[in-house]
Every structure is written in C-alpha cells, then in structure tokens.
Amino acid sequence: MKAAAAAAALATTLAAILTTALPVRSQEIPAEGIQIGLSTDRVAITADFAGADLTIFGALENADPQVTRQGRYDVIVVLEGPARPVVVRRKDRILGMWINTRSETFVNVPVSYSMATTRPPQDVTTPNSYKQLSLGIPNIYLEPEDKRGNPVTIQEFTDALRERKEGLGLYSDNIGGVQFLSQNLFRATLHLAPNVPVGTHKARAFLFRNGLFVKETSTQLAIVKSGFEQTIYRFANDHGFGYGLFAIALAMFTGWLGRIVFRKD
C-alpha cells in the first residue's frame, strides 16, 4: 500500500511539473495570414470591351512589426482563368504551302493567367519555390495528353503554347503591380485582356516573408457576356443545331443581298 501511495504521489508531482513547463497555447503568437477582396466579383463583357484593370485589395494578418518595417514581406497575386484543353499545331512548308504536320494536345490549360508582384520575381523568392508553387508563367504546369511522347518535342510545343498565350495578351505579368498602402494593407492591379475568356476565374494571393512562402488565399471572379452578345452566347450553347442553321441562313442572305446591292447593270 505504501508503495502504491508513493507511486501515486510521484505521478501527481510529475504531472504538476509538466503542466508548469508546458507553454500555454493561448499565449502563442498566431502565424501570419493573408486575406484578399475583389473590387467586383463580376465583370460584364460587351461588344466594345477593350480590356480593363482589376483591382484586388488585401491585408496581412498577425504581421510581425519588425519584418514589416524592414519591408521583408512580399505578396504575389495571380488571376487564373478556367482550365480547358488546347491543341497546338505545327506548320511546315510543303510544296510551297504551309500545312499542319504535327500537333500536341494539352489538358487543363488555364485560358488566361495574369500576375502582379511587389518586386521583381527574382527578389521575392527562389526559382525552386516558384516551381514548387507552380507560380509564374514559366512554371504553369501544361500537362500533355500523351505523356509517352518525345520529351524534346513536348517541350517545344509547351514553349510554343506559352509564347502564343503571351502574344495574345492572355498570359501577362505586372512587376510592381502590388503596392502596400500601409504596413498591413496592399492593393494589386491586374490587367484583363480584351479577349479575356468568359467563365469563373480564380484570384490567388501568396505571402512571402524573407523569401520564404508563408500563406496562400483565394477567391473567385465571374467574367460573363452581357447585352445582345450574352443572348447570342446562350442561344449558341443551348441550341447549337438551331444556331448553326441560323448562321448558314444569315450568310446566304448576306451574300444574296450583297450581290443585289453591288451588281452592275
């Protein structure tokens, strides 16, 4: 009995020591976080849409005042369009004519990608970090449908796809497009190209501290057609066969009318 009592007393003493030694969780410093909000969650595209700037506001949570004063927090904001399959074709000159000779299909390709940063990308974090986060135009993962193809050929088509997207203005970056308005508040400006596709786009914000990735957050943006264009768009999607017949009939009528108007007596 004495041994049991002694053991119980020892266990109680150890428990008291451990409880005293353990830190109180409520006194722990919360980790940094990031939140963003869009100036609008819906962009309407009309026939005269010539592109626009999208403003995204954000705030740092539980930011370290010393790191903030030193300017060692960086933010990268990305607006990524819906993913769709894309076919890339290569043309070669054969017998004086340019003919499609080879093609490569990529799946889940973001139709658009716009990025804004606080500083030049090389000053924010390391190339390996960009690669791990699939962050930045060179690091967008473009998945080929046939992964068993020649790696060199796949890389050629991948590079061509990126160059094509950049040439159309669908892939772009804005160095310095993220600006801190105060120690914790920032504003990001992203450009929407005139040919920005409709659909649900995803806005993502990445927080870095001294070059190390800390946190990511995201929200959604809807880009839709409006007015007469929206009516045509819905009709074409809901009644494809009827829309095709209407387009053929309109083309025939336009040709006939042009012949009547411009014919020579």
Domains and CATH numbers, the chain: 33-83+111-249 (2.60.40.2550)
What is the predicted pLDDT for the residue at 40?
Answer: 81
| pLDDT tier, 81 (very low <50, low <70, confident <90, very high otherwise) | very high
Q: Has residue 123 got a pLDDT over 50?
A: yes
Angle between helix 228-238 and helix 240-262 axes, rounded to 10 deg: 120
| pLDDT tier, 94 (very low <50, low <70, confident <90, very high otherwise) | confident
Work out the mean pLDDT of the chain and round it to a whole number.
82
| pLDDT tier, 7 (very low <50, low <70, confident <90, very high otherwise) | very low
Residue with tokens 């830190």: 23
What is the predicted pLDDT for the residue at 238?
Answer: 64
Q: For residues 33 and 93, which has the higher predicted lDDT (pLDDT)?
A: 33
Q: For residues 67 and 92, which has the higher predicted lDDT (pLDDT)?
A: 67
Structure tokens at 69: 């004063």
Nearest to 114 by CA among 51, 50, 160: 51
Proportion of the chain above pLDDT 70, given as a percent: 75
Please compute Rg for the chain using Cα positions.
28
| pLDDT tier, 97 (very low <50, low <70, confident <90, very high otherwise) | low
Mean pLDDT to the nearest integer, 62-68: 91
Least confident of 46-50, 57-61, 118-122, 137-141: 46-50
pTM above 0.85, yes or no: no
Q: 142-194, pLDDT tens digit by residue?
A: 888 888 878 888 889 899 999 999 999 999 999 999 999 998 999 999 988 88
| pLDDT tier, 46 (very low <50, low <70, confident <90, very high otherwise) | confident
249 vs 197: CA distance, rounded Å: 27
Q: Has residue 230 got a pLDDT over 80?
A: no
